[in-house]
Structure 1
Amino acid sequence: MREALKVLGSGFLSANHDLASQLKSGHIPLADWFNELLRLVYRLIFLMVAEDRNLLHPVSSTAAARQLYGEGYSLTTLRRKCQRRATWDKHHDRYEGMKVVFRGLADGEARLALPALGGLFAPHQLPNLEAARLPNNAFMAVLWHLGWLPERAGRVPVNWRAMETEELGSVYESLLELQPQPAADGRRLVFAAEASERRGNQRKTTGSYYTPDSLVQTLLDSALDPVLDSTEAEAADPAAALLKLSILDPACGSGHFLLAAARRLATRLARIRADGAPGLADFRPALRDVARCCLHGVDKNPMAVELTRVALWIETVTPGLPLGFLDGQIRCGDALLGLVDLGVLTDGVPDAAYKTLIGDDEAAANHYKRANRAAKRGQIELDLGSGAAIVPALKPLALAFSRLRNLGEDTVGQIQTKAARFRDLRQTPDFQRARAAADLYVAAFLLPKTGAAPAVHSRTVPTKTF
């Protein structure tokens, strides 16, 4: 994966001088561009898995369309061709052909037996790489690194069909250690040497580590299975009751825990739907429904959030159906910061928010504490409306968000409608007011209590009413 990213990035930099210049000037942030490289690699991995598992083409597609795709565009064919160095030339047609596949998977292309998947293949995912050129020698080298493994007897093909999606966790760990940067000549992508060119890496500074499968399974045995048992036993409609459960991983990483939990829940759901004898044809739709209705994840690292979504898409891909809408369920954020109970907003910021900690100035902390108490006596108000009114207003908003799970996901159009509805709900006045109030509440705890105390006015945080 590391070598594939390095070759891919270097190929784009060497063939697109304008792109290299914009990266050097900062017009295109390096982190954003590197994330595009990751998405491109995720697309290739997704395609290799889907092809090897025979899950890419809709059942209704014609034999001629499948043949055209297989002979002229498939990664299976290109992986075989990349064994011949003669295919590693300086032309640009291989990546251009792959763009045709990507566009087909975004909106559907019957002539190539490609379904409309959206999601990972949506056009906005690669704003800079979609228009860029990539030499064949770089593209084929990427497929060489992703498609073949070194062995003593020579290279052997990667068996993407048998890949456990949890193996993406080890990919996630290795990616956290990478610190990408353009080389001095601006035409190559390199990774900073650990500790010498950059202090630390994301894995160490964020405490991010891959959770062993044995620990995940033990946790599910004790935490999830009893809930599933009682839900099945007590519900009049066990299948519907299972889909009303919510499974949350507040530090989801690459999605290992969520994937394992989803499989357990989907196994039971498929068994109920099939009257005790489920097959693969029963399990996959059940898993897709579980991902749509039950899974929720949070992580501070945007790379982890994206990889979790990719892992779920790989696991739930169904011939003829688009990739599910996961933006509302797998979110980037800090699960340790925030409000568990929005009802606390009605009482305003507590004095405990201004408790003196190591490094704080006691005089400044006491100033904020006094200002907070004055606010609670009604002397100061921040004009965001009444905190008491926010919580009741959120009830219909919460119901509207929960109804998103009932919206269909059988076509790209339905996915787009669901995405638009999700965005619209987040722009409503009630949501914006509640978000501002919650942000201010948390900000009071994080406020630097050092230096001279500021004058108390309407822009300071201490206040009772939101």
Structure 2
Amino acid sequence: MSRPFDGSLFAEGFLREAIKELPDYQHVSALDDLEAALLARFDRFPTDLSPNESQTEEDLIWPVLKRLGWTAHLRQQNLSPVGRHDVPDGLLFADGAAKDRANRFAEEWKRYGHGLAIVESKRWLRPLDRRSGRRGEESAPSTQMLRYLRRIDDVTTGKVRWGILTNGARWRLYWAGARSVSEQFFELDLGAVLGHSADGGDSVTADDRRHWLKVFALVFRREAFLPDAADERTFHERAIAEARYHRERVASSLSAVVFEQVFPDLVRALAEADSNAPLDEVRDAALVVLYRLLFVLYAEDRDLLPVRDSRYDDYALRDRVRGDIGHRKDAGDVFSVAAARYWPAFDDLCRAIDQGDASIGLPPYNGGLFDRDGAPMLSGVRLGDAVMADVIDALSFERTPLGRRYINYRDLGVQQLGSIYERLLEREVVREDGNIVVRPNVFARKDSGSYYTPDDLVDLIVREAVGPLVDARMDAFAAEATDLASREVPEDRRMGRLKRLDPAERTLELKVCDPAMGSGHFLVNLVDYVADRVIEAMAEAEALVEGYLSPLAERIEGIRNTIMDNAEDRGWTFDPGQLDDRHIVRRMVLKRCVYGVDKNPMAVELAKVSLWLHTFTVGAPLSFLDHHLRCGDSLFGAWVEPTIRRTDEQSSLFLRGPLARATRAAAPMQIIEGLTDAEIAEAHRSADIFAEVSEMTAPLHAFMSLLHAFDWLGIPRRGPVKTAFLKWLDGVFGDQIAIAQGEPFDSTDAHLPHLMAALGLADSERFLNWQVAFPGVWSEWEAKERGDRQSALGPDEAATGRMVRSPPTGDRDGSPRRRPETHDRRTPEGGRPAGGGLPAGERKGGGGRSGGPDFGGLSAAGPRRPQPLLAVRRTGHDAREARRHGRASRAVRHRVRQDGGPVLQERGHRGAAQGPLRLREPADALRHHALLPRRGQPVQVLRLCRQPRTGD
């Protein structure tokens, strides 16, 4: 079946198959009449004469809407209470009575509250996602729709959330409630379905025409927007729920087969292929193979690799390997244990993805996942067909009661792939009775800090934390525009001042960090939200000021042209449909706004994979992300000013050189920020510059990490440790910086073991020194204060409402001077209000917003009393691991107490906690994350709620 649709509002599996099982599909009335009427209308329409917008609207769009049951409507109703900035082409009503109720209002914007959807019409075949370059078409139609939907959502308080955008041929349905409104739409090429597509759309066979006409009628007809008498949901709500159910079911099935079959099979096969390899190396290699496979399957199903190019299809995994295995499995064929046909094909494709192969239309997609040096073990192994066939078949076909069903990765999001990683952290590879076993590790998730965060909570955090920052930029632009309009200012100066406050450009200056990113779930949602807001800001600004054009529009066009020119020059396949404004903006958001930290190195790599897949552009290299996604423990590390203060004047002299070099790294970081990575040379330049940055910051990072490691060993309490620390600072062991960086040195000092213990701790714990890790963010590293307040959200912070000043500093020997001073906003006296709850205005049911999900401490209905963040039940199956974990936990608790941060309170004995884990001082949980903006650029740190899955 051909594919005349686009967007991800509804699942492809639903549109092709599941929709046929719905009663609505079976009872679409008068389909023959609809087909005949639409064909007659399109046949009469002069498509070859480039009809203008008015002609397309009158002679095609509104007649089609009438055939779909939309007889009650109003045209050109102003959404703006003042002026005429937002005027959709049409407002659709359920019936004449609803229209009559709307007409009782003199103010046009109030009439929208009685409608069902809006319509925005464009000329025949006008591009919907980019500027056409024609006069009067300065804005992309999709940006207009996003602006209208946001405005309507506000003026109707969420009653009207649907919009129809069409150029006569392509009909697109938007839903304001989607996570990414710009991306999660449904589009059907009606022109192609009826044989009238003139812009290269997919041709539709006669057998498919009736199906897609039924889909068109079901989605766009008036009845689809009305509640069903049976379950009070609209057709769209049922379709979205069906898609969600399908996605969750497939993801659950895929996860089960990965954990029970695929990952164990890969581990055992790799261990057998290289019997001398350490088990940790085998585990990492198996993870790399698994995620390379998932990357290719996902990218090919989503047309992110050039599967439609005849040069590539002979080397694609989809037909050459995946399809062949499926056919042989269905036929009951036998696969060789020793012979290897599939492994070389897969390995060759991975090499081509990494290095590029212009002869098959494939550009180099730089990135660590496919780097040959990233998993050296894989270069020396060959897995037999029997293993590869079982693995690829399990990842390609779902087992259902009705038989094997092809898994279409187009219907899965990168969040679903990331969830597989989240659960893989619970597995460890061990030898038991001579066999390689993959088993659950009850400590893995807590030790790594990886926890599942529900989608609704992620969306809520992003919206409530980032939304006001974007709104402030739009408000500043609007205020400046109003001020300039009231005075006589030359046009060029007026536009120049406005462009300096362009809300889209200034939104791209936001820096948002997830300090425990895992596989990047939160950051993926963040990219969607910020990209939507950037597109909306462009449209808002251009609608507010006549003749204004966002400077971002020119940059978007430049990036698009660069990608296309490079692809054409090098013979790479590219899809212009994947270079629309929304795709380019997502790449820009990814490169400039997204920051993340995780202690697990594999998590960092897989977060990159998630973000790359989510912002993938055929024909363009992968964005360089190493400068923003860092490996380290975000809760522990050192800061420059306390570090300098803790060394006396003489000892601190050796820090001046490393500090000066590290602070100079801010300038090259700004160069990386400015590179678009639209061509492979820019991506390589980003990598080369970041290598210089790493070299510049390495000495200071190493010194600060070693100092913090000594803190962990307990300087104030243990004499030998303190002595070793002071000897290191005084240079008794040798050059302080060289030692911290791991360079060899000779010493027979009696306190050397304590120094070596600190060096080992610094290496294993991966402390994150925030200023050094992100040198482009901070300025004045030696300043005493790092900002009056932190901007950190989490269930505990939202509930307590505390502000935390700078962390405590210590003397040279590490003795803490004082705990951080905290201020509580809850009552004037700083105490808990009467009744043991929150102030009256913050209690559930009080003032503020209502509705939305409730997450125990952060909800749209207002914060509640903090709940336990994590419940862990441990067993005693591995006493040695339990003792190791117990020692680590005690060290962490001690370090947190010294720093004035949260104290973990565990119940039980012998190092095994039997009850819930609670934060005794939750407001201090992110005291390390007080961030100082660089030159006025705000940094928003969002803390994800750590919530275990059901059954954990």
TM-score, length of structure 2 as denominator length: 0.40
Instruction: Give the aligned residue type for 2:340.
Output: H
- Structure 1 residues 98 and 211: alpha-carbon distance in aligned structure 2, compared to 1, 3 A threshold: same
Describe the superposition over 1:354-395 as per-residue Cα deviations: whole angstroms up to 9, x where unpaired.
xxxxxxxxxxxxxxxxxxxxx64x5x7366244xx7656544
Return 391-400 or 40-49, whichever deviates more. 391-400
* Aligned residue in 2 for 1:12: 270
Secondary structure, aligned partner of 1:179: strand
Give me the whole-angstrom Cα distance separating, in 1, the residues matched to 2:637 and 2:663. 18
* Aligned residue in 2 for 1:412: 680
* Residue 290, structure 1, aligned to residue 584, structure 2: no
* Residue 458, structure 1, aligned to residue 705, structure 2: no
Instruction: Give the aligned residue type for 2:302.
Output: R
* Aligned residue in 1 for 2:358: 110
* Residue 190, structure 1, aligned to residue 458, structure 2: no
Query: How many residue pairs were aligned?
Result: 413
Describe the superposition over 1:8-54 as per-residue Cα deviations: whole angstroms up to 9, x where unpaired.
2222333x2xx11x22xxxxx42233122112111111111111111
Task: Quote the offset at 1:238 in angstroms.
Answer: 2.3
Q: Choose between structure 1 and 2: higher helix proportion.
A: 1
* Aligned residue in 1 for 2:667: 399
Task: Quote the offset at 1:222 in angstroms.
Answer: 1.1
Task: Quote the offset at 1:74 in angstroms.
Answer: 4.8
Instruction: Give the aligned residue type for 1:11.
Output: A
Task: Quote the offset at 1:424 in angstroms.
Answer: 1.9
- Structure 1 residues 415 and 138: alpha-carbon distance in aligned structure 2, compared to 1, 3 A threshold: same
Describe the superposition over 1:118-144 as per-residue Cα deviations: whole angstroms up to 9, x where unpaired.
212222222111231110010011112
Match of 1:92 among 328, 340, 352: 340
Give the structure, 1 or 2, with the largest relative contact order (CA under 8 Å, sep 6 or more): 1
* Aligned residue in 2 for 1:424: 692
Match of 1:446 among 694, 708, 712: 712
The unaligned stretches of length 5 or more in structure 2 are 1-257, 478-500, 544-552, 557-576, 731-810, 814-952
Give me the whole-angstrom Cα distance separating, in 1, the residues matched to 2:262 and 2:443. 20
* Residue 168, structure 1, aligned to residue 433, structure 2: no
- Structure 1 residues 242 and 83: alpha-carbon distance in aligned structure 2, compared to 1, 3 A threshold: farther
- Structure 1 residues 146 and 458: alpha-carbon distance in aligned structure 2, compared to 1, 3 A threshold: same
Match of 2:523 among 235, 250, 258: 258
* Aligned residue in 1 for 2:465: 223
* Residue 233, structure 1, aligned to residue 475, structure 2: yes
* Aligned residue in 1 for 2:641: 343
Give me the whole-angstrom Cα distance separating, in 2, the residues matched to 1:107 and 1:284. 23
Percent identity between matched residues is: 28
Conserved 8 A contact 1:298-1:331: yes
Instruction: Give the aligned residue type for 2:335.
Output: W
Conserved 8 A contact 2:518-2:603: yes
Give me the whole-angstrom Cα distance separating, in 2, the residues matched to 1:418 and 1:87. 48
Describe the superposition over 1:209-259 as per-residue Cα deviations: whole angstroms up to 9, x where unpaired.
100011111111210111112123325222321221111000111211111
* Aligned residue in 2 for 1:203: 445
* Residue 129, structure 1, aligned to residue 378, structure 2: yes
* Residue 324, structure 1, aligned to residue 623, structure 2: yes
- Structure 1 residues 80 and 233: alpha-carbon distance in aligned structure 2, compared to 1, 3 A threshold: farther
Structure 1 runs of 4+ aligned residues shifted over 6 Å read 274-280
Give me the whole-angstrom Cα distance separating, in 2, the residues matched to 1:105 and 1:71. 12
- Structure 1 residues 50 and 165: alpha-carbon distance in aligned structure 2, compared to 1, 3 A threshold: same
Rg (Cα) greater in structure: 2
Task: Quote the offset at 1:320 in angstroms.
Answer: 0.7
- Structure 1 residues 436 and 237: alpha-carbon distance in aligned structure 2, compared to 1, 3 A threshold: same
Task: Quote the offset at 1:265 in angstroms.
Answer: 0.8
Secondary structure, aligned partner of 1:248: strand
- Structure 1 residues 126 and 206: alpha-carbon distance in aligned structure 2, compared to 1, 3 A threshold: closer
* Residue 311, structure 1, aligned to residue 610, structure 2: yes
Secondary structure, aligned partner of 2:666: helix
Match of 1:212 among 454, 464, 481: 454
Give me the whole-angstrom Cα distance separating, in 2, the residues matched to 1:206 and 1:395. 30
Instruction: Give the aligned residue type for 2:269.
Output: G
Task: Quote the offset at 1:172 in angstroms.
Answer: 2.4
* Residue 140, structure 1, aligned to residue 382, structure 2: no
- Structure 1 residues 247 and 87: alpha-carbon distance in aligned structure 2, compared to 1, 3 A threshold: farther
Instruction: Give the aligned residue type for 2:262.
Output: A
* Residue 381, structure 1, aligned to residue 645, structure 2: no
- Structure 1 residues 432 and 79: alpha-carbon distance in aligned structure 2, compared to 1, 3 A threshold: same
Conserved 8 A contact 1:48-1:75: no
* Aligned residue in 1 for 2:294: 45
Instruction: Give the aligned residue type for 1:89.
Output: S
Return 245-254 or 415-424, whichever deviates more. 415-424
Conserved 8 A contact 1:250-1:299: yes
Give me the whole-angstrom Cα distance separating, in 1, the residues matched to 2:443 and 2:324. 35
The root-mean-square deviation of aligned C-alpha atoms, in Å, is 3.1
Give me the whole-angstrom Cα distance separating, in 2, the residues matched to 1:253 and 1:460. 36
Give me the whole-angstrom Cα distance separating, in 1, the residues matched to 2:328 and 2:653. 64
Describe the superposition over 1:258-301 as per-residue Cα deviations: whole angstroms up to 9, x where unpaired.
11111011122334567799997222221111111111100112
Conserved 8 A contact 2:335-2:386: yes
Secondary structure, aligned partner of 2:314: helix
- Structure 1 residues 332 and 218: alpha-carbon distance in aligned structure 2, compared to 1, 3 A threshold: same
Task: Quote the offset at 1:207 in angstroms.
Answer: 4.6
Give me the whole-angstrom Cα distance separating, in 1, the residues matched to 2:474 and 2:609. 30
Match of 2:430 among 174, 181, 185: 181
Secondary structure, aligned partner of 1:173: helix
- Structure 1 residues 125 and 205: alpha-carbon distance in aligned structure 2, compared to 1, 3 A threshold: closer
Secondary structure, aligned partner of 1:320: coil
Give me the whole-angstrom Cα distance separating, in 2, the residues matched to 1:71 and 1:9. 22
Secondary structure, aligned partner of 1:32: helix
